[in-house]
DNA sequence: TCAAAAAATGTAAACGTTTGCATTTTTGAG
DNA sequence: CTCAAAAATGCAAACGTTTACATTTTTTGA
């Protein structure tokens, strides 16, 4: 809007002008060669005579020339860029996969364009549109809950994408993830196997988070499978805050028949819940057992140490990025991968019944 | 490398070809107008007749046309992109500022290009070079420890940049941050004012982290100012892991004259240190006081709750992004801002001496 | 020393938009 | 209806690279 691109500032520019952007043309001029030769000196050094190359490289050095990846993208029709959308970065479990994605992308010569959707498919769609406009070569999404028109657009634009944090059975939705349902089932089965009969659940909001939904379903199915009743007062969907875990736990304890074990479908809430129990003078696991989910580093530093489900966040991130890059470069469909989880039994779980409520 | 850009696939393409990228030209063709009109319909709707506009918009819808931001960047010479380099995303305090930067950037119509340097100026330089190549409109860096040639390159390319997490006194280095030295001094002064005379320090590695250096200097200056001796055995530089905080604390406790108070220059290490004390059966704060730094959410959920320094991570991120965007759009120099910190006294600090070591 | 082969370099088009200016179409007043 | 003014649309250049092909220079081998 400010200046017309028509105005040819360059031709009027003295050879050593201010901080104006230096282009390959400037370098060519100063080195007394054509732009083609500069380009070759930079990309295929063996294709230009040593003397010329050195002269060019010197000018590049002097002028701090940085080649314009945008122009290159224009020609090559690849941006060497991967779009990543996560629901939040504040839960360090997403930070973990993000860091691994970023690292693997960088290793492969790609840069990560980051979007944070804050659990809103709508906002995600806006974000993703922007990433598509930036011509990302691939798109890594979180979970399976997306605006349908977004997915259509991604497909129409031929941009490879994959899902993390949620195992998709659907062939058309490649995913690199573990199985939330299976992982949660293992946790709940473990509590039942310890003898617990009154179980509580704290999880994320299933309306905006299909991973939370998988885990909740696993919980409910488990109870049913074992012939246990599900008490709605013992199921709480909350945001990912320690505070929320604490208040959910408080609500359950204030119930006529409090649970003897609580499955918190993520560690953040579990830490809050655990903290509240101790504040109320309850023994964990003597009075009540708690299982978390994610295996955050902090879970080894709670008192007592938290039993939880270890999730392959780093591995998932790395694999996702590698698979994405392979798909981009080989122009091949994205490969789905299922990763495994592991129940880490620490100190917050025991058979029930030491105290009667 | 694969296909020559010369080959004009387009002219040979049947009107309803596969998933090939749809360009403004395709839309123009199908709508029976020129590319200029399509462009105007999209960007200045009032400049085209309603009937035409609708026809075009319908085609856009049908073809899932996504306009090529790369081509637009090419012309406008702005990428609507902000580069952000942080040392790690795993420490949730950086995640906090990152999230706020991302949010503010998005609100302003910008996308964030993320780089994680892992505390290496060398890696940072590589990353930043890549961001410059991607023609970021601005660059947000962490701390003041950078490859000098990188800074020169940033300047030569006329890309505005700013520093977060470290207050720069130098005019040439705009920063949006709080003062690490001042903040750390407040924490140590507080411990001294409680009566502590043997103080320990756990902090990050000062050779790669100038924020840690500021905090360490504050610690040492404080002791000296109060006429206290500094015992090298009570100063530990460690990585940002709870485990590291724990082992540093262990080392100090195993010393002939253990400290009665320890300043951990970040909460991660503080949580580890606190955990170790309790494992050894020490009363906190009865036997030993601990102060952290960052005010992570988790610090309200440790037993006892951690005294720490609250850092304006979110505010800093938001301001940094806003200031950067203002600088980009108004072509004005970046404004420096100093933010304030606050000592949050919780439960891990008390006068010394209940127990004699 | 010379011609042919090989190597180095140059020329110009292309990538997908936006936009100043030119041209065409529509509108509206008389 | 006419014609001038206004509105709508089209044309074509430009952004900064890369690269096929053309041209020039260097090398090689008799």
Classify residue A74: in a domain, yes or no.
no
B165 and B187 in a single domain? The answer is no
What is residue B353's predicted lDDT score, i.e. its pLDDT?
74
Residue B108 in contact with partner chain A when CB distance is under 8 A: no
Mean pLDDT of B91-100: 95
Quick: pLDDT tens for B120-148. Answer: 999 999 999 999 999 999 999 999 999 99
Mean pLDDT of B36-49: 96
Mean pLDDT of A164-183: 96
What is residue A7's predicted lDDT score, i.e. its pLDDT?
34
pLDDT above 50: residue B8: no
Q: Which domain holds residue A62?
A: 9-67
Classify residue B23: in a domain, yes or no.
yes
b (16+ CB within 10 A) / e for B77-98:
eebbbbbbbbbbbbbbbbbbbb
Residue B158 in contact with partner chain A when CB distance is under 8 A: yes
CATH code of the domain in which A44 resides: 1.10.260.40
3-state helix, strand, coil in chain B (%, to 5): 45, 15, 40
CATH code of the domain in which B143 resides: 3.40.50.2300
Q: Is A195 left (phi over 0), alpha (psi -120 to 50) or beta?
A: left
Q: Which residues of A touch B240 (CB under 8 A)?
A: none
What is the band of A355 on the pLDDT scale with cuts at 50, 70, 90?
low
What is the band of B354 on the pLDDT scale with cuts at 50, 70, 90?
low
B32 CB inside 7 Å of strand C: no
pLDDT above 80: residue B71: yes
Q: Do B203 and B244 contact (CB within 8 A), yes or no? A: no
Q: Do B266 and B215 contact (CB within 8 A), yes or no? A: no
pLDDT above 60: residue A128: yes
The 8-class DSSP code of residue B133 comes to H
Mean pLDDT of B190-213: 97
pLDDT above 90: residue A275: yes
Q: What are phi and psi of B190, to 5 degrees?
A: -60, -45
What is the band of B17 on the pLDDT scale with cuts at 50, 70, 90?
very low
Q: What are phi and psi of A235, to 5 degrees?
A: -125, 120
What is residue B219's predicted lDDT score, i.e. its pLDDT?
98
Residue nearest to nucleotide C13 (CA to C1'): B6
pLDDT above 50: residue A14: no
Number of structural domains chain B divides into: 3
pLDDT above 80: residue A17: no
Classify residue A354: in a domain, yes or no.
no
What is residue A254's predicted lDDT score, i.e. its pLDDT?
97
Classify residue B33: in a domain, yes or no.
yes
Classify residue A347: in a domain, yes or no.
no
What is residue A5's predicted lDDT score, i.e. its pLDDT?
32
Q: How close is the nearest chain B Cα to the Cα of A72, in Å?
A: 10
A24 CB inside 7 Å of strand C: no
What is residue B21's predicted lDDT score, i.e. its pLDDT?
83
B53 and B116 in a single domain? The answer is no
Mean pLDDT of A195-219: 97
A137 and A36 in a single domain? The answer is no
A13 and A156 in a single domain? The answer is no
Classify residue A353: in a domain, yes or no.
no
Mean pLDDT of A207-227: 97
Q: Which residues of B touch A271 (CB under 8 A)?
A: 298, 301
What is the band of A12 on the pLDDT scale with cuts at 50, 70, 90?
very low
What is residue B14's predicted lDDT score, i.e. its pLDDT?
36
Domain-ending residue, one of B311, B330, B347: B311
Classify residue B2: in a domain, yes or no.
no
A167 and A215 in a single domain? The answer is no
For residue B146, give both structure tokens.
Answer: 């950078």
What is residue A353's predicted lDDT score, i.e. its pLDDT?
74
Q: How many percent of chain A have pLDDT more than 90?
A: 92
For residue A101, give both structure tokens.
Answer: 């994605």
Q: How many percent of chain B have pLDDT more than 70?
A: 93
DSSP string, B259-307: -SEEEESSHHHHHHHHHHHHHTT--TTTT-EEE-SB--GGGGSSSSPPB
Quick: pLDDT tens for B326-346. Answer: 999 999 999 999 999 999 999
Mean pLDDT of A332-346: 97
Residues of chain B numbered 260-299 and touching chain A (CB < 8 Å) = 271-272, 275, 278, 297-298
Tell me the pLDDT of chain B averaged across its residues: 92
Note whether B103 contacts A116, CB cutoff 8 Å.
yes
A224 and A253 in a single domain? The answer is yes
Note whether B297 contacts A241, CB cutoff 8 Å.
yes
What is residue A354's predicted lDDT score, i.e. its pLDDT?
60
B199 and B304 in a single domain? The answer is yes
CB atoms within 10 A of CB B318: 20
Classify residue A149: in a domain, yes or no.
yes
Quick: pLDDT tens for B238-266. Answer: 999 999 999 999 999 999 999 999 999 99
A30 and A119 in a single domain? The answer is no
The 8-class DSSP code of residue A293 comes to S
pLDDT above 70: residue B205: yes
Mean pLDDT of A256-270: 97
Mean pLDDT of B205-231: 96
> Residue B273: closest CA among chain A residues belongs to which residue?
A301
Domain-ending residue, one of B40, B67, B94: B67
B317 and B175 in a single domain? The answer is yes
Residue B205 in contact with partner chain A when CB distance is under 8 A: no
Q: Which nucleotide is nearest to B135 (CA to C1')?
A: D16
B168 and B252 in a single domain? The answer is no
Residue B7 to residue B5: CA distance in whole angstroms: 6
Mean pLDDT of A338-353: 96
Residue of B65, B133, B250 to mutate when probing chain A, most A C-beta within 10 A: B133
pLDDT above 50: residue B54: yes
A63 CB inside 7 Å of strand D: no
What is the band of A1 on the pLDDT scale with cuts at 50, 70, 90?
very low
Residue B245 to residue A74: CA distance in whole angstroms: 49
Mean pLDDT of B23-29: 95
Tell me the pLDDT of chain A averaged across its residues: 92
A165 and A191 in a single domain? The answer is no
DSSP string, B329-341: HHT-PPPPEEE--
Q: How close is the nearest chain A Cα to the Cα of B106, in Å?
A: 8
B329 and B290 in a single domain? The answer is no
């Amino acid at each position: 809007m400010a200046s017309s691109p028509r105005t040819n500032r360059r031709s009027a520019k003295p050879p050593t002008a201010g901080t104006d952007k230096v282009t390959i043309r400037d370098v060519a001029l100063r080195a007394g060669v054509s732009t083609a030769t500069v380009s070759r000196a930079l990309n295929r050094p063996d294709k230009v005579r040593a003397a010329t190359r050195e002269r060019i490289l010197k000018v590049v050095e002097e002028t701090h020339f940085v080649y314009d990846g945008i122009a290159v993208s224009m020609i090559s029709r690849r941006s060497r860029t991967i779009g990543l959308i996560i629901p939040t970065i504040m839960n360090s479990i997403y930070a973990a996969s993000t860091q691994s994605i970023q690292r693997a992308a960088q290793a492969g010569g790609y840069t990560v364009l980051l979007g944070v959707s804050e659990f809103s498919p709508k906002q995600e769609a806006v974000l993703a549109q922007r990433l598509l406009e930036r011509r990302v070569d691939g798109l890594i999404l979180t979970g399976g809950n997306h605006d349908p028109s977004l997915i259509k657009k991604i497909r129409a634009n031929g941009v490879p994408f994959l899902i993390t944090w949620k195992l998709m059975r659907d062939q058309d939705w490649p995913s690199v993830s573990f199985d939330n349902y299976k992982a949660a089932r293992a946790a709940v089965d473990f509590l039942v196997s310890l003898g617990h009969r009154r179980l509580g659940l704290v999880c994320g909001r299933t309306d905006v988070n299909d991973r939370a939904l998988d885990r909740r379903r696993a919980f409910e199915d488990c109870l049913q499978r074992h012939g246990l009743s599900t008490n709605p007062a013992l199921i709480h969907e909350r945001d990912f805050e320690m505070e929320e875990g604490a208040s959910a736990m408080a609500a359950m304890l204030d119930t006529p028949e409090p649970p003897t074990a609580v499955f918190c479908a993520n560690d953040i809430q579990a830490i809050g819940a655990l903290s509240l129990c101790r504040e109320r003078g309850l023994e964990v696991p003597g009075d009540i057992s708690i299982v978390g989910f994610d295996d955050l580093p902090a879970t080894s530093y709670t008192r007592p140490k938290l039993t939880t489900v270890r999730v392959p966040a780093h591995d998932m991130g790395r694999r996702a990025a590698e698979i994405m890059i392979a798909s981009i470069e080989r122009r091949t469909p994205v490969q789905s991968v299922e990763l495994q989880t592991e129940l880490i039994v620490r100190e917050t779980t025991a058979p029930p019944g030491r105290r009667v409520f």
